[in-house]
Chains A and B, each alone.
Chain A
Amino acid sequence: MKKTLICIFILSLFFNASFASRISQDLEFSNLRIRLMPAVVLNTAGFMEIRNKSSKDYYLVKIESQLAASNELHTHITEDGMMKMREVSEIKISANSTTSLKPGSFHMMFMKLKKKLVENESEAVTLVFRSGEKITLDIPIKKI
């Protein structure tokens, strides 16, 4: 029994590693930044460009971090002459193209910040994809 559990554990490690390596082969992350905000504001946004070099679509469904109590994926829609920020359940990273998480569009939202934002320090953010694949990125905090 013990041996079986150890085997499962090792196998799961192996699968996780292969997932991560596949993502790092298929997806290229650039222009990563978390917006530095004044200390009185307890939320911020994060942006990046994701280049999908593969012929397979990826779907970003969740982000995780120690930066905030609530980590969400958001977009902006324009309706009735107003900009409305709304949570989205996923962001499609289409095959053979670049998807931008940028101001006024799709972005990562960090709400109820648990830490003080310090310019040029980095925060580990884990991106979770629909397939269960994950990748953790160090994202610098920048004045945008």
Chain B
Amino acid sequence: MKKHLLIGFFVGLCVFFVGLGIMTFLNQSHQEYSIGGEFKAMSPKGEVALSDFHEKITMIFFGFTYCPDICPTTLSTMNKAIKRLPEEKRDQVQVLFMTLDPKRDTLDKLKEYTGFFNPQFLGLRIADELKLNAVLKQYAVTYKSFVPEGKSAEEYTLDHSTQSYLIGKDGKIREVIHHGSSPQHIAKLLERYL
């Protein structure tokens, strides 16, 4: 009886560890996303395409410079995450900030804005609304203009989705980074792909 119990316990333990191994493997294996892909946009450095950054891991976020909370928090967190990486790996990460508000966000403004968080961060602008919306659709980004009560039409703000994407060297989205992720969590994700 005792022997059977011991064997049962041993088999249970084996099943548990095999299960744990499978789960760990699944967690580490690269996830595939059907969204994302190549695009072209203007930057303060001239026209760029996503594929120009194929030697780097890219993090992209879509926001606007008038955004007083979500966007600066995201960019600041990304900067803190990069600072957690070993110094020699930091320049292997490229952060892209694409404006949802090309009407107000000029390239000069984007340059100063992204440079405030990290001089390596690059602002992107697609002036043509149709082209911008096509890229946003590609990346499952949603936004809507909103004029608060008592404010003029020029004082609009934008409601927008808040996820960022980690894009691998193959140009494919590897991770969706949710707003509120800690610098530690983002740094860990980056380490996984560097």
Contact = CB atoms under 8 A, between A and B. Distances in A.
Do A and B make up one complex? yes
A83 B65 contact: no
A90 B159 CA distance: 21
Contacts, number: 70
Nearest to B111: A40
Contacts of A39: 112
- Consensus secondary structure, chain B interface: mixed
A84 interface: yes
Given A37-B72, A41-B66, A82 B142 contact: yes
B74 to A, nearest CB: 10
Nearest to A144: B76
A143 B70 CA distance: 15
Interface stretch (A13-21, A53-61, A101-109, A126-134): A101-109
B162 interface: yes
Interface residues of A, number: 27
Interface stretch (B11-19, B21-29, B31-39, B143-151): B143-151
B156 to A, nearest CB: 12
Interface residues of B, number: 26
Contacts of B180: 104
26 contacts: A39-B112, A40-B112, A41-B66, A41-B68, A41-B113, A42-B66, A43-B68, A79-B159, A82-B143, A82-B144, A83-B70, A83-B161, A84-B159, A85-B68, A85-B159, A87-B149, A103-B69, A103-B70, A104-B70, A104-B180, A107-B69, A109-B68, A111-B68, A143-B76, A144-B73, A144-B76
